[in-house]
């Protein structure tokens, strides 16, 4: 297996994990930049398809790194990418979890949450925009993105239902 490729995967996902405040969904534009634009491991549309699979599969969103690792370097790529994106935040969580038992109601935690959570959610919105642009679905694609977004926003149904309906609607619009 290509050791250099695995080292690059580890470096990319390990460093991005440190700024994945609010989860991997804030990282989509940056992962796209790294794997599509900088390293050209895959094209934009393939990136979007792997993103779709990682969203439809059960489990946390960081599995976008896992499936890109798989695509780039097979099973060892999947393992390296997954461990790389998991480990740094896990160590931070371990330390923070121990600290917070002492100052759980403290003002610093409140400030951290009030300051960083809305920022992370703004970044997540940007991720959605970049993902739909990357998928190359054209006007129909933007319409489906908007429709699914509104449905998820206004209802409590399992979002996978809307994702399935969105996919069917997109196919119907394209295959006419």
Partner 1 sequence: MASTLTAPPTLRDLFLSFLKIGLMGFGGVAAVARHVIVVERAWLDDAEYGRLIGLCQALPGANTINAAVMLGDRYRGPAGAVACVVGIMAAPLAILVMAATAYDRVAGDPLARLALTGAAVSAAGLVLGTAAKLLVRAKPSPAAWACAAAALIAVAALRVPLPWTLACLAPLSLIGAAWSTRRL
Considering only residues 110 to 169 of the shown chain, the ones binding partner 1 according to CB under 8 A are 110-132, 134-137, 140-142, 144-153, 158-169
Scan residues 89-108 and list those touching partner 1 (CB under 8 A): 89-90, 92-94, 96-98, 100-101, 104, 107
Among 8, 36, 61, 80, binds partner 1 (CB under 8 A): 61
Long-range contacts of 167-171 (CB under 8 A, 24+ apart): 169/144, 170/137, 170/140, 170/141, 170/144
Nearest to residue 81, comparing CAs of 144, 155, 7?
7
> Is 62 among the residues that bind partner 1 (CB under 8 A)?
yes
Sign of the torsion angle spanned by Cα atoms 107, 113, 114, 119: positive
CB of 54 to partner 1, least distance (A): 7
7 vs 92, which CB is nearer to partner 1?
A: 92
2 vs 115, which CB is nearer to partner 1?
A: 115
CB of 45 to partner 1, least distance (A): 7
CB of 90 to partner 1, least distance (A): 5
Half-sphere exposure of 142 (CA within 13 A, CB side): 5
> Is 13 among the residues that bind partner 1 (CB under 8 A)?
no
Measure the CA–CA gap between 165 and 167, rounded to whole angstroms.
Answer: 5
Among 12, 28, 72, 84, binds partner 1 (CB under 8 A): 28
CB of 103 to partner 1, least distance (A): 11
Length reported for the chain: 176
Nearest to residue 6, comparing CAs of 88, 89, 75, 91?
75
- Identify the H or E element spanning 57: none
């Amino acid at each position: 297996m290509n050791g250099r490729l695995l080292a690059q995967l580890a470096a990319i996902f390990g460093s991005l994990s440190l700024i994945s405040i609010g989860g991997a969904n804030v990282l989509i534009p940056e992962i796209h930049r790294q794997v599509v634009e900088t390293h050209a491991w895959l094209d934009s549309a393939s990136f979007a398809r792997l993103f779709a699979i990682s969203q439809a599969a059960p489990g946390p969103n960081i599995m976008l790194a896992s499936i890109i690792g798989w695509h780039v370097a097979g099973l060892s790529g999947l393992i390296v990418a997954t461990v790389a994106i998991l480990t740094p935040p896990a160590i931070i969580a371990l330390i923070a979890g121990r600290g917070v038992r002492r100052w759980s109601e403290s003002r610093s935690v409140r400030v951290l949450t009030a300051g960083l959570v809305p920022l992370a959610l703004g970044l997540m919105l940007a991720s959605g925009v970049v993902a739909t642009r990357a998928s190359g679905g054209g006007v129909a694609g933007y319409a489906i993105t908007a429709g699914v977004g509104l449905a998820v926003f206004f209802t409590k149904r399992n979002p996978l239902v809307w994702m399935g309906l969105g996919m069917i609607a997109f196919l119907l619009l394209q295959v006419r």
